[in-house]
Amino acid sequence: MADEQKPAAPKPAPPKPPAVIPWESDLTGALKEQFGEGILEACSYLGQNFLVVKPEAVISIVEYLKWEAGFDYLVDITAVDWPKRAERFDLVYILYSFARNERIRIKTRIAVDDRPASVVRVHRTANWLEREVFDMFGIEFEGHPDLRRILMPEDWQGHPLLKDYTVRQQDQRWVQENLNIETGQ
């Protein structure tokens, strides 16, 4: 935010950064009634609504949203790596409802060896999306029909989008395997 050059008046206070505000609606009311402590928070940031839920509750919430609330389109599944946190990954599901023209995000926090349930049986698009999350982060999904790497070669070791995976380490391993030297740096 640029500040203006006023000759004598004091500088205006910078605008407050947007905050995460709680989100209340009939949908959150119904969800809280149905799932109780499964839903940890229902918030809204910059006008985009999201729920923070417990990992075990994700699949039942996604099912409920599809069949009862009309969120029949799974837009995306992705993960974010926060290495300093105990529960390292933030697993994010983005859903959209054609009938209500509304988009909702469902976030859960999972630790390194957790195996969240796969939502393939609810939305078939989750097949490749979960494969990609597995490929990039190493998060395995329970109940996925065909969990193997999709973008990286099948015999690749390591999960590229983790924060501690660096190009230097990848290069050194390649050089050790293929050229039999210690490092190419």
Partner 1 sequence: MPEATFLDSTELVLNMGPQHPSTHGVLRVILKLDGEKVLGTDCVVGYLHRGIEKIAENRTWAQFNPYVDRLDYVAAVSNGLAYCLAVEKLINCEVPVRAQAVRVILTELNRIGSHLLWLGTHALDIGAITPVFYCFREREESLKILEKYCGARLTTHAFRIGGLQFETYEGFERDVLAFCDMFLPKVDEYEELLTNNRIWVGRLQNVGVLTAEQCKDYGVTGPVLRAAGVKWDIRKALPYSGYEQYDFEIPTRTNGDTYDRYLVRMQEMRQSVRIIRQAVEGLPAGPILGRVAKVLKPPAGEAYVSIEAPKGELGFYVVSDGSAQPYRVRVRPPSFINLQALNQMVHGALIADVVAVIGTLDIVLGEVDR
Residues forming contacts to partner 1 in the complex (CB under 8 A) are 1-2, 17-18, 20, 45-46, 48, 72-76, 78, 80-81, 92, 94, 98, 101, 103, 105, 123-125, 127-129, 132, 136, 145-146, 148-153, 160-161, 163
Measured distance CA(53)–CA(60) in Å, rounded: 11
Count other C-beta atoms under 10 Å from residue 89's C-beta.
24
Nearer to partner 1, 15 or 36 (CB): 15
Nearer to partner 1, 152 or 175 (CB): 152
Nearer to partner 1, 2 or 8 (CB): 2
Nearer to partner 1, 31 or 119 (CB): 119
Q: How far is the CB of 139 from partner 1 (least distance, A)?
A: 14
Q: What is the DSSP string of 65-100?
A: HHHTS---EEEEEEEEE-TTSSS-EEEEEEEEETTT
Is 108:58 a contact under the CB 8 Å cutoff?
A: yes
Nearer to partner 1, 9 or 167 (CB): 167
Q: How far is the CB of 146 from partner 1 (least distance, A)?
A: 5
Is 36:80 a contact under the CB 8 Å cutoff?
A: no
Tokens of 56: 């075990």
Tokens of 74: 């799974």
- Type and span of the H or E element at 35: helix 26-35
